[in-house]
Amino acid sequence: MNQSVDFQAWANGPRAQSGYVPNPTDSWEQAGGAPPRKSVDDAFEDSLTMFSMHRRLLADRARTTCFQRAIEGVVRPGDSVVDLGAGSGILGLFACRAGARQVVAIDRGPFEPLVRGLYAENGFADRLVWIGKDSLEVELDQRVDVLLAEILGNFAVEEAMLCYFLDARRRFLKPGGRLMPEKVRLFVAPTRTDAPALPETRGPLAGSARNAMRETCWAVDVAPSDLLGEPVLLSELDLARAQPGHRVAGKAVLRIAADAAGDAASVAGIAGWFEADLGDGIVLSTAPWEPATHWRQVLFPLPEARSLAPGSEVVFSLRGLQLEANTVWSWSAVTPAEGERWRCGNPARTQLPGERRLRLTRAGEEELELLRRFGEGASFEELMSFLLERDPDHYASAYAAHRRVSAMLRRSVR
Ligand SMILES: C[S@@+](CC[C@H](N)C(=O)[O-])C[C@H]1O[C@@H](n2cnc3c(N)ncnc32)[C@H](O)[C@@H]1O
């Protein structure tokens, strides 16, 4: 019964081959026409976007086969698995094929019929536990052996990957359990690839619009020949050890290559990409010279393109501010020889794809609840007991709860 699913064919459609996959975009795509005007039903519109996103992901053979090979090496017969951000369900399906006894597939999107159908067609219906919620709202009765997640953005961490992944590791994974990915490395190199040009704009806001274009981190395609120096490791994240609230930051000294002469050394910005250790020695890379994936490289533009002499250095620093739903970047570049320093990246202006309405984090919800109880007259001890009962994993001792309540009172109470 273990028939294979040809995910490439699935991605390329038409969906008729698997009747359980409703893909409302087919009609206009097949007709070669333009997408229909936006419907008033926002939820329906969102689901269209999400279904076409999953087609794109499945069609990304480099990505999907990399995960498949890693899962075959990491998941052992009898394992329980969380597939965080399950989407089409493909990673959990690979886990079942590797012998997983149970897969808890978590996704906030409307994919339940799709995922149930995929598992059923492959003979794994009884191994699936579907949870159609945001992972931050999920509670599990039992911890699992393996946590799988492909919630990587163009620069790995900008799809709030850290927030969700670290929360899931803390609450869903057994001590010593296996993670995929295990580590993420961020690389940078100087590039002549530039930010998209603003159409000729006049009027009082033109200058500020042009500046805004260069204060934004862009997703771009960087050709290997557009790199102007050796790549440098900016930051490595060990996802087994990083703690919630971890801030991504790094500094790299970039050197303009000796053969990048004349105009060729006109540096427009710093290109970035990632490598992820998926486990079992499998590394997924989005470097410009690797086979293309659906991910793109990112560009941190300089305020203006600069001609830099071969051998000169650019010291690049990057900081990510983790908002729950996203990471916003600010960066600076210094050329010690020229004595120039540019500060770039204005978080207020940084546009990120897929930004959703911001919501309180678990810590924020906790703070709100503590304040509400305090406002209703709860004593210090009652607030401590509330924390110890609500989150015994996090507040392993009365001392930890004591510190939390003290900090909250110091911040918020006169
Ligand atoms: C990049 S897709 C990956 C889908 C699938 N795992 C794959 O590899 O093809 C990420 C999915 O994660 C879901 N997702 C992201 N963060 C989530 C969260 N915190 N809770 C539930 N679903 C989440 C999104 O809805 C999306 O379907």
CATH of the domain at 64: 3.40.50.150
pLDDT at 201: 58
Asked whether residue 104 is assigned to any structural domain, the reply reads yes
Kindly tell me if the per-residue pLDDT of 208 is higher than 80: no
* Domain tally, the chain: 3
Amino acid at 175: P
Convert the pLDDT of each residue in 273-282 to its tens digit.
999 999 999 9
Q: Which of 10-24, 129-143, 209-223, 390-404 has the lowest mean pLDDT?
A: 10-24
> What confidence score (pLDDT) does residue 234 get?
97
Residue 148 identity (one-letter amino acid) = L
Give the tens place of pLDDT for each residue, 364-373: 889 889 999 9
Q: Is the peptide bond before 353 cis (omega within 30 degrees of 0)?
A: no
- In a shared domain, residues 51 and 141: yes
Nearest CA among 134, 43, 59 for reference residue 325:
134
Distance from Cα 386 to the centre of ligand 1, integer Å: 32
The CATH number assigned to the domain holding 218 equals 2.70.160.11
Domain coverage including residue 324 = 183-344
Using CB distances shorter than 6 Å, the residues near ligand 1 are 57, 85-88, 90-91, 106-109, 134-136, 150-151, 164
Residues paired with 254 in a beta bridge: 314
Extract the tokens encoding 210.
Answer: 């042009």
- To the nearest whole percent, how much of the chain has pLDDT over 70? 77
Residues 332-371 as b or e (16 or more Cβ within 10 Å = b)? bbbbeeeeeebebbeeeebebeeeeeeeebbeeebbeebb
205 & 337 share domain:
yes
Determine which helix (DSSP H) or strand (DSSP E) holds 68, and give its type and residue range: helix 61-74
Give every CB contact of residue 257 below 8 A, 6+ residues apart in sequence: 228, 229, 230, 310
Contacts of 153 (CB under 8 A, 6+ apart): 159, 161, 295, 327
Residue type, 395: Y
**Residue 202 sits in the same domain as residue 68:** no
CA atoms of 127 and 102, how far apart (whole Å): 4
Residue 135 falls inside a structural domain: yes
Whether 12 and 99 map to the same domain: the answer is yes
Average pLDDT score over the chain: 81
CA of 11 to the centre of ligand 1 (A): 17
Helix (H) or strand (E) holding 185: strand 183-191
User: Is 328 in a helix, a strand, or coil?
Assistant: strand
d(CA 378, ligand 1 centre) in Å: 39
Helix 362-375 to helix 398-412 angle (10° resolution) is 70
Identify the band that residue 29 occupies on the pLDDT scale cut at 50, 70 and 90: very low
Residue 96 inside a domain? The answer is yes
Residue 160 belongs to some domain of the structure: no
Amino acid at 37: R
What's the whole-number mean pLDDT along residues 289-308? Answer: 90
Tokens of 154: 């163009």
Backbone torsions φ then ψ of 321, nearest 5 degrees: -100, 115
Q: Which helix (H) or strand (E) holds 164?
A: helix 161-172
Q: How confident is the model at residue 212 (pLDDT cuts 50, 70, 90)?
A: low
Residue 295 has pLDDT above 90, yes or no: yes
- Both 207 and 67 in one domain: the answer is no
- The reply to whether 61 and 206 lie within a common domain is no
Q: Does residue 30 lie within any of the structural domains? A: yes
**Highest-confidence segment of 51-55, 87-91, 357-361:** 87-91
For atom 1 of ligand 1, which residue has the closest CA?
Answer: 151
In a domain, 175, yes or no: no
Q: Domain for residue 44, yes or no?
A: yes
Q: Which residue lies with its CA nearest to atom 22 of ligand 1?
A: 107
Does residue 397 share a domain with residue 259?
no
Domain assignment present for residue 176? The answer is no
Separation of CA 161 and ligand 1 centre (Å) = 10
H helical segments located in 274-313: none
Give the pLDDT score at 348: 46
